[in-house]
């Protein structure tokens, strides 16, 4: 009898501008074995963002329809726009035994926790709030008003950190990637994930 381990669901969240996207991109270019779920959003594309690559861009009506049809694993309204994770891709990829990473804000992460308590929750934290603001400004994608709104949300998101399994400081991108890779590796070795495999050892050689 062969034991097929299900993929691990990794939730990476943290305030806007902390570097979630940057860290995920760096993990990807290292070849880290994580599949990236592409979210659905009602936000307008930023310059250079491609539909189906960075997000699936939808109208509010289309997004509402996805909610009604229960196509979203989680969703949240964030600073005037809606964001959500398509369920099908996540379930299919986990069932194939591949790990999936969701790059989402905190309200959505809490919904995932209720539905998938066994998922791994990592909070990416900035060295401090001044540095966070500097990063959002430096990215050059938001108006001054939106930067203030995102900073206000960021402060309340930081207070929800205790709902996560790990906090990783994104002081340097490569160090943050090292820490995330180590956490994911350790999670794969947890007894509660592997016990089924090792309690069925006898079946493995046909005895």
Ligand X SMILES: Nc1ncnc2c1ncn2[C@@H]1O[C@H](COP(=O)(O)OP(=O)(O)OP(=O)(O)O)[C@@H](O)[C@H]1O
Ligand Y SMILES: Nc1nc2c(ncn2[C@@H]2O[C@H](COP(=O)(O)O)[C@@H](O)[C@H]2O)c(=O)[nH]1
- Does the protein bind ligand Y through residue 126 (CB under 6 A)? no
- Does the protein bind ligand Y through residue 42 (CB under 6 A)? no
Residue the block writes with tokens 């989680």: 74
103 by DSSP, 3-state: which? strand
Is residue 33 packed enough to be buried (19+ CB in 10 Å), middle (13-18) or exposed (0-12)? Answer: exposed
Distances in Å between the Cα of 120 and the Cα atoms of 7, 38, 62, 189 are 11, 18, 30, 13
Known binding residue 18? Answer is yes
Known binding residue 16? Answer is yes
Q: How many CB atoms lie within 10 A of CB 121?
A: 22
Known binding residue 117? Answer is no
Which residue in the set 7, 19, 84, 126 belongs to the binding site for ligand Y (CB under 6 A)?
84
Find the part of the chain contacting ligand Y (CB under 6 A) among 72-80, 91-99, 181-189, 199-207. 72-80
Q: Classify residue 15 by its DSSP letter.
A: S
- Does the protein bind ligand Y through residue 105 (CB under 6 A)? yes
Binding positions: 14-21
Binding positions for ATP: 14-21
Site for ligand Y, rule CB under 6 A: 16, 20, 39, 43, 74, 76, 78, 83-85, 103-105, 108
């Amino acid at each position: 009898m062969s034991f097929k381990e299900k993929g691990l669901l990794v939730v990476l969240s943290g305030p806007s501008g902390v570097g979630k996207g940057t860290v995920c991109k760096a993990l990807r270019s290292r070849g880290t074995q994580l599949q990236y779920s592409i979210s659905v959003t009602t936000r307008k594309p930023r310059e250079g963002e491609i539909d189906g690559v960075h997000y699936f861009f939808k109208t509010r009506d289309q997004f509402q329809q996805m909610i009604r049809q229960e196509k979203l694993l989680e969703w949240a309204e964030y600073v005037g726009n809606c964001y959500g994770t398509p369920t099908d891709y996540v379930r299919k990829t986990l069932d194939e035994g591949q790990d999936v990473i969701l790059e989402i804000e905190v309200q959505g992460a809490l919904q995932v926790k209720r539905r998938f308590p066994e998922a791994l929750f990592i909070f990416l934290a900035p060295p401090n709030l001044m540095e966070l603001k500097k990063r959002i400004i430096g990215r050059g994608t938001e108006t001054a008003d939106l930067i203030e709104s995102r900073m206000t949300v960021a402060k309340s998101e930081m207070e929800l950190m205790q709902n996560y399994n790990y906090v990783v400081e994104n002081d340097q991108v490569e160090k943050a990637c090292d820490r995330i890779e180590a956490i994911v590796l350790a999670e794969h070795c947890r007894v509660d994930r592997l016990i089924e495999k090792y309690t069925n050892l006898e079946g493995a050689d046909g005895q």
